[in-house]
Amino acid sequence: MASFLDRLAAVVFASAALALFAAMPIWHRVAESPEAESRQTISARDFSTLVEAMTKAHATGEAEGGVPIVHPPAGDVYVIARRFEFTPILQLDVGRTYRLHIASTDVVHGFNFPLGKAETLLVPGWATTVTVTPTHPGLYAMQCSEYCGLSHSRMKARVRVMP
Amino acid sequence: MRDAPSPGYRETSALSLTPASKRELRGWSGLAVAALALAGVLALLLALSRTPKIQDFLPWPVQEFFYRALVTHVVFSFVVWFLGVLGALMVLTTARLAMGQTRARRLGTVGLGAGALGCLILLAPALLNWGEPSLNNYVPVVIHPVFYAGLVLLALGVGMVAVRLILNLPGREVGPVDWGIAAAAAAYLVALVCFGLALIAIPSGTGEALFNERLFWGGGHVLQFVNTALMLVGWSVLAEITLGEMPLGPWLSAAVAGSLVLFVLPAPVFYALFDVLSREHRDAFTQMLWYGLAPQPVVMMAGLARLLYQRRTALPWRDPAFVGLVLSVGLFAVGGLFGFFLGVADTRTPSHYHAVIGGVNLAAMALYFALLLPLLGRSSRRAGPIRWQFHLYGFGQLLFSVGMFLAGEAGVPRKTAGAEQGLDTIGKVVSMAMTGTGGIIAVMGGVMFVWMALSRLMARR
Ligand SMILES: [Cu+2]
């Protein structure tokens, strides 16, 4: 009796494991978020120029950890990812729509930004664009999600959303 | 396949140990504990190198030593420790299956030699200030040929023992525990294949950080199946020793072990399907772990729950092996729950793996006192200190993990210490205090384990 139950349980478990195994392509489909980002090529130098222009025009004069805080108008905004910071720090307004362009100027970084539903790799030479329309004020985390060096775990920024 | 053997697993294992297999068993058991001891010494040096005044007396440039020593500490306390325990259990299983008629016997001696030599070599870069440290996932490295050579020797040494075990399976009477260890051996070999494929697939010119991350990403995920197989085997053996019965029947046990291998079989294929540097490659392994490593512990825990319920009036709470078993299951369960709340890179991630790894560690530690040391004739009748050790380690890890989980809510960055953490709310301070206290208690338990196990292994009889 015990042996029969054991064999039955083994068959049930093995079938369930095989079903889960066969469903592997489906997990992949489910986990893959609809591509929120678009990508285009750009050199590190050109991208830095765009960031510098935006920072010059819209700097708040404040800084966090040495990184300047900028308050750009709706539309195109630019952020550089590099070891081990995102610069500049964005200050956005509730209800406005921004096209956030982000690019790495050194090595491959990960870009995890839940506010923009973004999780992607930043490969040097490519800029990724996500559209963001903040609905609630607060601090929103942006962090590197791909190991990029000893201080990778410190590579995070907080985007400020104002009412 | 046989039903529950009447003399217990420990007794039948003892019968099959030849002097040669006993030597190998002592070798791997010793290597694993020695790795923990070394990791402990490095942890002490790490602490000293961060202490003002004292750091001036260290013969190394402090800043560089810190990360190299941290890498070496992590490799010894996780990689070498687990592989040593795996080596010991594979030697034991091979001996049980072969009953003195071991096929490819020499692989054991050569494998142990290579593994031990690899470990010695791994120490060199930290002590001699060679190479740049990299804190990539799973197997952090010091970027220096000598360090990689040490890893390769260790990996191949364990690999030889795994191959020998599999060569000794055909035509032998294989019990449920043997299937579990054989599954661990097979998954381990798949991990080695993944490391090799990654090395081939990663394009030259890839930055060092990403190179090491991707080199160890796939195989590192597969190694978690190995660790889980070891833990589940540990639970079965500990239940049999302390309660006289395994949690699952032999057929279900074998199905559980087989499923661990099933889910790692696609791993090498991922290298063909996805660009090794892509996000798809990264996520494929995460998903393999997420889906493929949940069913087995759940079924084993259900079996254990049934067994514990049946014996609820007469549970051997004074038996250290039983205490180790219960704490291991509890810690692993907490870690599993945390896993469902995983964030990408906040402190909740380590809260999950510290609890889960703590569960695996406790099962391995309990196996030392309940199985390995008695087989080597080094058992002890003093149950009190062993029980204490398990309580300290188990509850320390629990406090540590819960503290980290709570800190994760507050977003304290991980893998850093001291002023960089920016403690600015009460919640953060409390959770970091829990982490600190839990860490100290767990370390006390760990030190006790190393002391008790090593002194018994090295005692002259
Ligand atoms: Cu980064």
pLDDT tens per residue across span B372-406: 999 999 887 788 899 999 999 999 999 998 888 88
A84 C-alpha to center of ligand 1: Å?
6
Distance of CA B14 to the CA centre of its chain: 24
Q: Determine, yes or no, domain membership for B176.
A: no
B62 pLDDT band (50/70/90 cuts)?
low
A11 C-alpha to center of ligand 1: Å?
46
Residue A130, pLDDT score: 94
Q: What is the mean pLDDT of residues B225-250?
A: 96
A27 C-alpha to center of ligand 1: Å?
27
- Whether the CB-CB separation of A137 and A152 falls below 8 Å is answered with no
How much of chain B, in percent, has pLDDT values that exceed 90? 71
Task: Read off the CATH number of the domain in which A134 is found.
Answer: 2.60.40.420
Segment 115-134 of chain A within 8 Å of chain B by CB: 119-121
A152 C-alpha to center of ligand 1: Å?
5
Backbone angles phi, psi at A75, to 5 degrees: 115, -145
pLDDT tens per residue across span A65-101: 889 999 999 999 999 999 999 999 999 999 999 999 9
- For residues A106 and A90, membership in a common domain is answered with yes
Residue A30, pLDDT score: 64
CB contact under 8 A, A13 and B415: no
How many CA atoms lie less than 13 Å away from A31 in the CB half-sphere? 19
What is the rounded CA–CA span in Å between residue B267 and residue B436?
37
Per the structure, how many domains does chain B have? 1
Kindly list the residues from chain B whose CB atom is less than 8 angstroms away from the CB atom of residue A29.
Answer: none
Vertex A19: Cα angle to A18 and A20 (nearest 5): 90
Task: Read off the CATH number of the domain in which B450 is found.
Answer: 1.20.140
Q: Determine, yes or no, domain membership for B72.
A: no
What is the rounded CA–CA span in Å between residue A150 and residue B209?
9
pLDDT at residue B249 is higher than 80: yes
CB contact under 8 A, A145 and B134: no
pLDDT at residue B14 is higher than 90: no
- For residues A45 and A112, membership in a common domain is answered with yes
Residue B50, pLDDT score: 73
Q: Domain of A129?
A: 38-162
Cα separations (Å) of B415 from A144, A150, B51, B349?
14, 9, 18, 11
Q: Determine, yes or no, domain membership for B437.
A: yes
Q: Determine, yes or no, domain membership for B449.
A: yes
Q: Match 């804190």 to its residue by tokens.
A: B135
DSSP B453: H
A23-32, A113-122, B216-225, B428-437, range with greatest mean pLDDT = B216-225
A81 C-alpha to center of ligand 1: Å?
7
Q: Determine, yes or no, domain membership for B374.
A: yes
Per the structure, how many domains does chain A have? 2
B131 pLDDT band (50/70/90 cuts)?
very high
Cis-peptide into A88, omega within 30 deg: yes
Minimal CA separation from A126 to chain B, in Å: 14
- For residues A80 and A17, membership in a common domain is answered with no
Residue B411, pLDDT score: 53
Distance of CA A60 to the CA centre of its chain: 24
Minimal CA separation from A13 to chain B, in Å: 7
Q: Determine, yes or no, domain membership for B418.
A: yes
CB contact under 8 A, A6 and B344: no
B412 pLDDT band (50/70/90 cuts)?
very low
- For residues A122 and A140, membership in a common domain is answered with yes
Kindly list the residues from chain A whose CB atom is less than 8 angstroms away from the CB atom of residue B252.
Answer: 6, 9-10, 13
Kindly list the residues from chain A whose CB atom is less than 8 angstroms away from the CB atom of residue B279.
Answer: 119-121
- For residues A61 and A79, membership in a common domain is answered with yes
User: Measured between CB atoms, which of B212, B290, B295 is closest to A17?
Assistant: B295
What is the rounded CA–CA span in Å between residue B400 and residue B444?
13
At A78 the three-state DSSP class reads: strand
pLDDT at residue B136 is higher than 60: yes
- For residues A23 and A69, membership in a common domain is answered with no
More confident residue, B66 or B55: B66
pLDDT at residue B415 is higher than 50: no
pLDDT at residue B245 is higher than 70: yes
CB contact under 8 A, A10 and B259: no
A7 C-alpha to center of ligand 1: Å?
50
A38 pLDDT band (50/70/90 cuts)?
confident
- Whether the CB-CB separation of B334 and B348 falls below 8 Å is answered with no
Counting one residue from chain A and one from chain B, the pairs whose CB atoms sit within 8 A come to 110
- For residues A21 and A48, membership in a common domain is answered with no
CB contact under 8 A, B209 and A152: yes
CB contact under 8 A, A17 and B263: yes
Q: Determine, yes or no, domain membership for B212.
A: no
B348 C-alpha to center of ligand 1: Å?
19
Residue B405, pLDDT score: 83
- For residues A97 and A152, membership in a common domain is answered with yes
Could you tell me the sign of the dihedral formed by the alpha carbons of A143, A149, A153, A156, in that order?
negative
- For residues A26 and A42, membership in a common domain is answered with no
Residue A81, pLDDT score: 97
Q: Determine, yes or no, domain membership for B375.
A: yes
Q: Domain of B395?
A: 316-461
B81 C-alpha to center of ligand 1: Å?
30
B5 pLDDT band (50/70/90 cuts)?
very low
- For residues A81 and A26, membership in a common domain is answered with no
More confident residue, B14 or A148: A148
Torsion of CA B8, B14, B15, B18, to 10 degrees: 160
DSSP B412: P
Q: Match 């031990």 to its residue by tokens.
A: B116
How much of chain B, in percent, has pLDDT values that exceed 70? 91
Q: What is the mean pLDDT of residues B304-332?
A: 95
pLDDT tens per residue across span B86-109: 999 999 999 999 988 999 999 999
More confident residue, B430 or B340: B430
A32 pLDDT band (50/70/90 cuts)?
low
B291, B307, B342, best to mutate vs chain A, most A CBs in 10 Å: B291
DSSP B203: P
- For residues A18 and A47, membership in a common domain is answered with no
Residue B414, pLDDT score: 40
Does the interface predicted TM-score (ipTM) exceed 0.95? no
User: Measured between CB atoms, which of B254, B262, B413 is closest to A21?
Assistant: B262
CB contact under 8 A, A147 and B254: no
What is the rounded CA–CA span in Å between residue B10 and residue A155?
50
Kindly list the residues from chain B whose CB atom is less than 8 angstroms away from the CB atom of residue A107.
Answer: 207, 209-210
A31 pLDDT band (50/70/90 cuts)?
low
What is the rounded CA–CA span in Å between residue B45 and residue B58?
9
**Average pLDDT of chain B to the nearest whole number:** 89
Residue B348, pLDDT score: 65
- For residues A75 and A109, membership in a common domain is answered with yes
Q: In what order do the strands lie in the sheet with A38-41?
A: A38-41, A126-132, A98-104, A75-82, A85-87
Closest Cα to residue B21, out of B111, B82, B81? B111
More confident residue, B126 or B160: B160
Cis-peptide into B78, omega within 30 deg: no
Minimal CA separation from A20 to chain B, in Å: 8
Cα separations (Å) of B195 from A6, B147, B182, B191, B445?
37, 15, 20, 6, 33
pLDDT tens per residue across span B343-376: 544 556 778 888 999 999 999 999 999 999 999 9
DSSP B64-115: HHHHHHHHHHHIIIIIIHHHHHHHHHHHHHHHHHHTT--TTTHHHHHHHHHH
Q: Exposure of B109 by Cβ count < 10 A (0-12 exposed, 13-18 middle, 19+ buried)?
A: middle
